[in-house]
């Protein structure tokens, strides 16, 4: 029986981002990083329900976007989630908790916060110097109707405000 899972990712992105510099300044090894123009592999953030159907085993075809979808992606390049054949449209540095069984998103938020809470001034200096943006993604996969607690404590709200980050929440409800 599948259990509800949560992942939290912290992204630093922008055209002038240099991943190695971010790693050095924060003294944190990223979970993932890429440069503008790198090939996109896999399925992006779309969750995989079981190992048998993982994106590495399933054949993929390029996605062709037109009309309203293409215009939306042009206006929001950080949201591009395309398949093989596409390239990254921005530089990115990311740390992630990875998917974990959880009944409260604050467990994963705390893990990311604990890594970054003493680095607010460094983050703000990097943001201003390199015109960077920060985003915190919370992805919840609900299984068997087991919904996790989803709220933001004051420390998280203060942190998001201090570094001028965006927060994105995705819910995938399977049963």
What's the per-residue H, E or C state across 26-65?
Answer: HCCCCCEEECCCCECCCCCCCCCCCHHHCCCCCCCCCCCC
What percent of the chain shows pLDDT beyond 90? 66
Number of domains in the chain: 1
Domain that holds residue 121: 5-173
Whole-angstrom distance, CA of residue 165 vs CA of residue 78: 13
Can you give the pTM of this predicted structure? 0.75
Buried b / exposed e over 154-171, threshold 16 CB at 10 Å, is eebeebbeebebeeeeee
Which residue do the tokens 């093989």 mark?
84
Whole-angstrom distance, CA of residue 96 vs CA of residue 38: 20
What's the per-residue H, E or C state across 133-146?
Answer: EEEEEEEEEECCCC
| Segment 125-141, tens digit of pLDDT | 999 999 999 999 999 99
Question: Cβ distance 22 to 126 under 8 Å?
Answer: yes
| Segment 56-102, tens digit of pLDDT | 333 333 444 555 555 555 555 554 554 446 888 889 999 999 999 99
């Amino acid at each position: 029986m599948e259990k509800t899972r949560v992942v939290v990712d912290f992204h630093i992105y922008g055209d002038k981002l240099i991943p190695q510099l971010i790693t050095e300044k924060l003294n944190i090894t990223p979970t993932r990083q890429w440069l503008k123009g790198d090939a996109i592999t896999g399925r992006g953030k779309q969750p995989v329900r079981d190992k048998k159907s993982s994106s590495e085993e399933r054949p993929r075809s390029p996605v062709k976007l037109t009309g309203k979808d293409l215009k939306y992606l042009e206006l929001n390049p950080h949201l591009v989630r395309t398949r093989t054949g596409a390239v990254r449209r921005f530089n990115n540095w990311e740390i992630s908790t990875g998917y974990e069984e959880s009944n409260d998103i604050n467990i994963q938020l705390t893990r990311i916060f604990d890594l970054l809470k003493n680095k607010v001034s460094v983050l703000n200096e990097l943001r201003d110097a390199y015109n960077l943006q920060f985003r915190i993604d919370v992805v919840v996969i609900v299984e068997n109707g087991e919904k996790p607690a989803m709220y933001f404590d004051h420390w998280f709200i203060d942190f998001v405000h201090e570094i001028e980050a965006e927060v994105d929440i995705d819910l995938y409800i399977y049963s």
